[in-house]
């Protein structure tokens, strides 16, 4: 397993902390528009990759997306959005960034009803309570049916999978978070391991696989070691979000890595037994004492805790 961290696009304190913790791999965002280059342009991606490499960090994944809501909703203009994403994939291949983590959550991305839920020792996590959304207003484009989304996903994959094959870039599809449908009139279709399987089977390719977000699939009620084996056996396990939760899709909260519902050592042991050697990152972490919670799930101290915990599990399981 290549232990990575979400490190943005430009040097920060997290780059230094990551190197000090022995993390040599990065999950990057899309660089901002600079010197006339769009975020997905070849030169912008090349400059970002070189910034990391000059600091001794290898970019394994881009986990950021150009605008894609028209694609997801099947609206006029979706072909223009697809063309940009095709350009991103081609340029990732040219500069040598091997994995693109993408999603198919229409209107909004990961979603929570609280980002200030107290957990162990007064640390703060995000949580979701579906009962609080009963009176929430529909989004501008709602209602959106599951059938519409499946049709639009098929259209999308038919357009980008051949490009990924040419570029030799792996498409790692992330499940919907929360894995429950609908929210604000917007259906969610990637709400389980079975749904992820259906999605990547729409346009079969060795370059179309999944991001195994343990927290989301544990919330959905899937057995994490079984899911690892299922997708690793098919060589469809491209990227891992190694995190945990407590609760169900109807009501759950994030946790420290050692305080959730999943047997995390059993999960790590399964990765080792399957020979998984791809990138993984801690993902959402608690906000700890002295931190502002300005970036819920992505403050610093919880990352340090998560990386240390994962490194210990890796040493035990892979040995």
Catalytic residue annotation: 174, 213, 241, 283-284, 298
Tokens of 249: 């899709």
Q: Assess contact for 195 and 177: CB atoms under 8 A.
A: no
Per DSSP, 132 falls in state G
Burial (CB count <10 Å: 0-12, 13-18, 19+), residue 122: exposed
Contacts of 310 (CB under 8 A, 6+ apart): 3, 242, 257, 268, 280, 282
> Measured between alpha carbons, how far is 190 from 110 in angstroms, rounded to an integer?
12
> Measured between alpha carbons, how far is 299 from 215 in angstroms, rounded to an integer?
18
Tokens of 215: 């927290």
Per DSSP, 133 falls in state G
- Neighbour order of strands in the sheet with 124-129: 114-118, 124-129, 251-254, 245-247
Strands (E), the chain: 2-6, 25-28, 58-62, 99-102, 114-118, 124-129, 170-173, 208-213, 237-241, 245-247, 251-254, 279-281
> In this structure, are strands 208-213 and 99-102 parallel, antiparallel, or unpaired?
unpaired
> Measured between alpha carbons, how far is 143 from 107 in angstroms, rounded to an integer?
11
> Measured between alpha carbons, how far is 85 from 81 in angstroms, rounded to an integer?
6
């Amino acid at each position: 397993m290549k232990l990575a961290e979400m490190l943005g696009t430009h040097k920060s304190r997290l780059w230094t902390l990551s190197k000090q913790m022995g993390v040599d791999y990065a999950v990057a965002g899309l660089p901002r528009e600079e010197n006339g280059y769009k975020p997905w342009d070849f030169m912008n991606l090349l400059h970002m990759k070189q910034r990391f490499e000059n600091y001794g960090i290898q970019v394994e994944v881009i986990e950021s997306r150009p605008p894609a809501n028209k694609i997801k909703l099947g609206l006029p203009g979706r072909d223009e959005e697809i063309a940009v994403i095709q350009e991103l994939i081609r340029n990732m291949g040219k500069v040598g960034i091997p994995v693109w983590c993408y999603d198919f959550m229409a209107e909004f991305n990961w979603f929570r009803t609280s980002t200030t839920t107290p957990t162990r020792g007064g640390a703060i996590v995000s949580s979701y309570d579906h009962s609080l959304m009963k009176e929430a207003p529909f989004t501008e484009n709602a209602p959106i049916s599951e059938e519409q989304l499946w049709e639009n996903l098929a259209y999308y994959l038919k357009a980008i999978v051949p490009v990924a094959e040419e570029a030799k870039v792996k498409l790692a599809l992330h499940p919907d978070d929360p894995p429950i449908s609908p929210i604000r009139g917007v259906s969610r279709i990637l709400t389980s391991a079975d749904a992820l399987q259906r999605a990547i089977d729409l346009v079969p390719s060795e370059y179309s696989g999944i991001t195994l977000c343990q927290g989301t699939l544990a919330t959905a009620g899937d057995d994490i070691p079984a899911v690892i084996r299922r997708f690793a056996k098919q060589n469809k396990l491209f990227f891992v979000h190694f995190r945990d939760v407590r609760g169900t899709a109807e009501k759950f909260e994030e946790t420290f890595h050692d305080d959730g519902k999943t047997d995390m050592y059993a999960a790590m042991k399964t990765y080792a037994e399957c020979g998984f050697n791809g990138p993984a990152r801690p993902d959402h972490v608690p906000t700890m004492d002295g931190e502002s919670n300005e970036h819920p799930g992505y403050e610093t101290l919880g990352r340090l805790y998560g990386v240390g915990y994962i490194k210990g599990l890796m040493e035990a399981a892979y040995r």
